[in-house]
Amino acid sequence: MNAMSQEQIRAMILRVLGDIAPNANTQAINPNVSFHDQIELDSIDFLRLMMSLEKETNVTIFDFDYPKLSTLKGCERYLTERLATA
């Protein structure tokens, strides 16, 4: 996987999130507030988000890291770090 810019990572996360939660206004997401609190993402949807992000980036997201990915900012930070070391 080629290095992705912060903007590309954010756009990819929001696109995947929009696929999983089509009724969510992904453009209005606060990057510091959990997805669950903003768009009522349940645990199954969150798991689908994690699996989709893994598929998109070819990065393994460990289940013990899931809490780090509960926000947009957390997802961006985690994927940026993992893609940099991949």
In a structure prediction context, what are the per-residue pLDDT tens digits for the chain, which is 86 residues long?
457 899 999 999 999 999 999 999 999 999 999 999 999 889 999 999 999 999 999 999 999 999 999 999 999 999 999 998 87
- Is the separation of the CB atoms in 45 and 22 below 8 Å? no
Q: How many CB atoms lie within 10 A of CB 51?
A: 13
In a domain, 58, yes or no: yes
In a domain, 45, yes or no: yes
Number of domains in the chain: 1
In a domain, 1, yes or no: no
The whole-number pLDDT of residue 2 equals 56
Q: How far apart are CA 29 and CA 61, in angstroms?
A: 22
Which residues neighbour 20 within 8 Å (Cβ) at sequence distance 6 or greater?
41, 45, 48, 49, 52
In a domain, 14, yes or no: yes
The whole-number pLDDT of residue 1 equals 46
Contacts 24+ apart (CB under 8 A), 36-44: 36/70
Domain ranges, residue 46: 6-26+34-85
